[in-house]
Amino acid sequence: MKDETTQNNFRLNLQNRYRVLADTLMQEEETGINIEVLWGNIRDLFTKTEELLGYSGQKRKEWISLETWGLIDERKELKKKMISAHQSEMVEFQCRYAQKNREVKRRVTRDKRTYIEGKAEEAELAARKGDSRMLYKITKELSGNTRCHTKPVKNAKGEAITDKDGQLAPCAEHFACILNKEAPRNPPRLRPNAIELPINTDEPTPNEIRMAIKELKNNKAAGSENVAAKLLKADITTTTDMLYPLFKVSPCSEKCVADTPAVQPMDCFRVLSEWEVLWPRPRNPARLTQCLRL
């Protein structure tokens, strides 16, 4: 998505697919919008459009210079010629390939030494300024220690759970225990508030949805719906037009309640996370961003 041509192609395909969805949406507005069906169409639209991007190429190491990459390409071409060469020309190509391989290794060693010396100078400068954050970052890059120190999910016996279904099981038990509690025998007597709080319960405006999309962070893992933030931010105007009918339907309306299927304890947390953020709607658009991350 960093390439401008690729980004323009993605926007064009997204807009063309949305025109077909918009025609269907206009027909559903007369009979009533089903939230699950509408979100499923939007999710499939982004998923199918993402397939046009293809797989990202191999990332080149930043410390290798352009001249060295040119030599690497020349060595690759020599290897292809050596494989397809005749037996009489094999010895000549082997000598040329060995010479080119030695030259590439020397250049790579020199580039890496130059890169490490530059990083050492940056670390020394950061230590003089007292910038411990930059010093730690450089040390981590040079040591190659990029592991993620996340704590594993454990069961009641203290054993680590590796499969995804097993990790969701404790969450399901937790919410099932919370949501299925018996009613209290002596409920508290709460006095009604004399002053009604000025809470805006209107539907979110397109401008608020647009601001929430802009606040999404890139380079983050996609949620359970497999829609990354970079796809939503590729064409903010089209994304806002698609999401506005989704948030326009009030979850308290009779039509929405009738179309909502029975949910399991694990689905209750997702439903509460999606709708309680918006209804009553706070003034801060950053809370709306939390709903778009799901």
Which position has the token pair 């039509």?
255
Asked if residue 29 has pLDDT above 70, the reply is no
pLDDT tens for residues 166-180? 777 877 887 888 888
pLDDT confidence bin for 274, thresholds 50/70/90: very low
Mean pLDDT of the chain: 76
What's the pLDDT at 266? 38
Q: Interhelix angle for 66-83 vs 90-129, to 10°?
A: 160
H helices, E strands: number in the chain: 12, 0
pLDDT confidence bin for 145, thresholds 50/70/90: low
Task: For residue 167, give the amino acid letter.
Answer: Q
33-45: burial string, b at 16+ Cβ within 10 Å, e else: bbbeebeebbeeb
Task: For residue 93, give the amino acid letter.
Answer: F
Question: Among the ranges 112-126, 132-146, 229-243, which has the highest mean pLDDT value?
Answer: 112-126
Whether residue 138 contacts residue 123, with contact meaning beta carbons closer than 8 Å, is answered with yes
Distance CA 203, CA 196 (A): 19
What's the pLDDT at 243? 85
Which position has the token pair 């494989």?
83
59-89: burial string, b at 16+ Cβ within 10 Å, e else: eeeeeeeeebeebbeebeebeeebeeeeeee
Distance CA 173, CA 168 (A): 9
What's the pLDDT at 107? 94
The size of the chain, in residues, is 294
Distance CA 93, CA 74 (A): 13
Average pLDDT over residues 240-259: 63
* Residues paired with 160 in a beta bridge: 154
pLDDT tens for residues 54-68? 666 566 788 888 899
Asked if residue 277 has pLDDT above 50, the reply is no
pTM of the model: 0.47
| Encoded tokens for 175 | 């919410």
Percent of the chain with pLDDT over 70: 76
